[in-house]
Chains A and B, each alone.
Chain A
Amino acid sequence: MEHMGYTSSSPNLDAIFSALADPTRRAILSRLVEGQACVSDIAEPFEMSQPAVSRHLKVLERAGLIERDIDKQRRPAKLTAQQMINAVVWLDQFKAFWGTSFDQLDSLLLNMKQTRDKQHE
């Protein structure tokens, strides 16, 4: 992955979104948060075949979310691409911003109504 910038037609973002759209791949990333792991480590808790895990790892690798050690026979996978993850996180924050703020506004309005009603009593 020689270029990490975000241009308008950024293939990275597309790759990230499609990589993360799959619940199994997100679970694999969760596992990798705990530390690097090889295919058999990952396959076990998922009751999944090793070729199936390998396919998922390839998708994650192409998206730049993980990296695999080519020098070692077991080819452990580990998380990379902090920049890309940052971008996705940032988008998540943008999306969640108003919804979460509005939940807080709901509570505030309830307080304001109660205060107002007390004044009217």
Chain B
Amino acid sequence: MSDLPEFVVERSFDAPRELVWRAWTEPELLSRWYGPGAETIVHKFDLEPGGLWLNEMKWGDNSNFQKVVFKEVSPPERLVWNHHSSVDSDWNDAANPMMADWPKLLLTTVTFEQVENKTHLRLLQIPLQATDAEIACFAEVMGKMSGGWGAGFSIIDDILTEL
């Protein structure tokens, strides 16, 4: 397990842990921040081990669907879930149209640590039940991402608007 590539995001929030936990675990709050610039619709949210979070993010006419299966719910300090990164509108696993070898399942662990009046949050994702090709793809992308790629992608937005 320790050999698997990891995606890690850490961030400190200027709010006590209980508030941050609520923002992650109450669907009406979650939908207000989850999904950059998207209209986020939470279709189902059962916050218990084995429970489902079915999420739709809409950008204009385009929808992106995600399925989450909670594995561990330990308020207010730890959430663990299986993240199905590419599902169709019926919530079934589907191939990622953009990158065929992207891992279909990411084990996601979110920890909330209170530091004085702030909350330090750490999100970790690792491929789960992944093929060698998926692991290699994820590792390659993670390598590129930590390489300071920065704002280099802004050009791509320009390109896409022309297609």
Chain A residues close to B by CB (< 8 Å) = 5-10, 13, 17, 20-21, 23, 26, 29-30, 33, 79, 82, 85-102, 104-110, 112-113, 116
Q: Hey, which chain A residues are within 8 Å of B136, CB to CB? A: 8-9
Chain B residues close to A by CB (< 8 Å) = 9, 11, 13-15, 19-20, 22-23, 29, 32-37, 96-101, 123, 132-134, 136-137, 140-141, 144-145, 149, 152-153, 155-163
Assess whether A100 is in contact with B37, with CB atoms less than 8 Å apart. Answer: yes
Task: Tell me the minimal C-beta distance from A33 to chain B in angstroms.
Answer: 5
* Bound form: Cα–Cα A68–B14 in Å: 52
* Bound form: Cα–Cα A105–B57 in Å: 16
Assess whether A33 is in contact with B159, with CB atoms less than 8 Å apart. Answer: yes
Assess whether B23 is in contact with A105, with CB atoms less than 8 Å apart. Answer: yes
Assess whether B32 is in contact with A108, with CB atoms less than 8 Å apart. Answer: yes
Given contacts A88-B156, A89-B156, A102-B11, contact A33 B162 (CB under 8 A): yes
Q: From DSSP, what is the main secondary structure of chain B's interface residues?
A: helix
Task: Tell me the minimal C-beta distance from B100 to chain A in angstroms.
Answer: 5
Q: Hey, which chain A residues are within 8 Å of B96, CB to CB? A: 90
Q: From DSSP, what is the main secondary structure of chain A's interface residues?
A: helix
Given contacts A97-B36, A109-B23, contact A29 B99 (CB under 8 A): no
Task: Tell me the minimal C-beta distance from B20 to chain A in angstroms.
Answer: 7
Q: Which residue of A lies closest to B97 (CB)?
A: A86
Given contacts A89-B160, A102-B11, contact A26 B155 (CB under 8 A): yes
* Bound form: Cα–Cα A29–B159 in Å: 8
Assess whether A98 is in contact with B152, with CB atoms less than 8 Å apart. Answer: no
Assess whether B19 is in contact with A113, with CB atoms less than 8 Å apart. Answer: yes
Given contacts A6-B100, A97-B36, A112-B19, contact A91 B159 (CB under 8 A): no
Task: Tell me the minimal C-beta distance from A21 to chain B in angstroms.
Answer: 7
Assess whether B101 is in contact with A6, with CB atoms less than 8 Å apart. Answer: yes
